[in-house]
């Protein structure tokens, strides 16, 4: 592993700041001061120190939360409101992968693994998000086709991958699938064709689903789930 990444993995500093520490001669590997910015360490064998303090990579943690309504998707809130971090019982510093609006419910991943999060969120990787949306009125076929063919948001053509009306009994409830992760994307898309989203729930993010969780509950990701994602970005 490259030294600046190792320092970031140990929560010493960002990769850019870590390079400054290296240049200042504050980092040693196996007792030798390292000033080379392109330097690799074996995280299982080498002893790395900053200002003579021995470092160790923080254990990675991965959670899947069923976010309830009325919870902020952030690491802290200056108004004292409940955040998604408050719902996870851990001593580690974790952060949400993307975000859900205050009153949007459903799947939210949280971790302390930046590479894992960045891979899931990067638009070129096209991880699908699936939602159930409750609209203020039944969706017309013509408007559905517009959303599937694409409309412009901020001068950029955007579309849903798929839309399904839940049933004849509930014509205002629709399932939508998108690869977009922009803030308020589903709500903005429907507003462009004259609909208001009264309720929104994310039921899938890539390979992850809610399973049997209820609002406010969470679980750790399985090793198989973590490995399946890591295998993808390690190949790229």
For the entire predicted model, the pTM comes to 0.82
Does residue 137 share a domain with residue 94? no
CATH of the domain at 170: 3.30.2350.10
Distance of CA 34 to the CA centre of its chain: 34
Question: Which residues are marked as active site?
Answer: 101
Does residue 193 share a domain with residue 142? yes
pLDDT in 10s for each residue of the chain, 236 residues: 899 988 988 878 888 899 999 999 999 999 999 999 999 999 889 999 999 999 988 889 999 999 999 999 999 888 889 999 999 999 888 999 999 999 999 999 999 988 899 999 999 999 999 999 999 999 999 999 999 999 999 889 999 999 999 888 888 999 999 999 888 999 999 999 999 999 999 999 999 999 999 999 999 999 999 999 988 876 65
User: Which contacts of 167-173 are long-range, i.e. CB under 8 A and separated by 24 or more positions?
Assistant: 171/138, 171/139, 172/134, 172/135, 172/136, 172/137, 172/138, 172/139, 173/132, 173/133, 173/134, 173/135
Does residue 142 share a domain with residue 31? no
Number of domains observed in the structure of the chain = 3
CATH of the domain at 107: 3.30.70.580
Does residue 140 share a domain with residue 27? no
Range of the domain at 71: 62-123+213-235
Does residue 183 share a domain with residue 135? yes
Does residue 217 share a domain with residue 183? no
């Amino acid at each position: 592993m490259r030294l600046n990444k190792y320092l970031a993995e140990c929560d010493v500093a960002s990769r850019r700041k870590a390079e400054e520490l290296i240049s200042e001669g504050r980092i040693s590997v196996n007792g030798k001061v390292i000033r080379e910015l392109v330097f690799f360490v074996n995280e299982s064998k080498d002893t790395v120190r900053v200002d003579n303090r021995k470092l160790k990579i923080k254990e990675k943690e991965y959670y899947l939360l069923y976010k309830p309504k009325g919870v902020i998707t952030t690491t802290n809130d200056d108004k004292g409101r409940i955040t998604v971090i408050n719902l996870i019982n851990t001593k580690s510093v974790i952060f949400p992968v993307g975000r859900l609006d205050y009153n949007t419910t459903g799947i939210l991943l949280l971790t302390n693994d930046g590479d894992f999060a960045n891979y899931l969120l990067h638009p070129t990787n096209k991880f699908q998000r699936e939602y159930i949306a409750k609209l203020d009125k039944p969706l017309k076929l013509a408007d559905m086709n517009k959303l599937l063919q694409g409309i412009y948001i901020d001068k950029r053509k955007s579309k849903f991958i798929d839309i399904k009306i839940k049933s004849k009994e509930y014509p205002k409830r629709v399932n939508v699938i998108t690869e977009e992760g922009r803030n308020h994307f589903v709500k903005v898309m429907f507003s462009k064709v004259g609909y208001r989203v009264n309720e929104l729930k994310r039921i899938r993010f890539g390979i992850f689903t809610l399973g049997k969780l209820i609002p406010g509950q969470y679980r750790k990701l399985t090793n198989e789930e973590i490995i399946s994602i890591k295998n993808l970005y390690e190949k790229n």
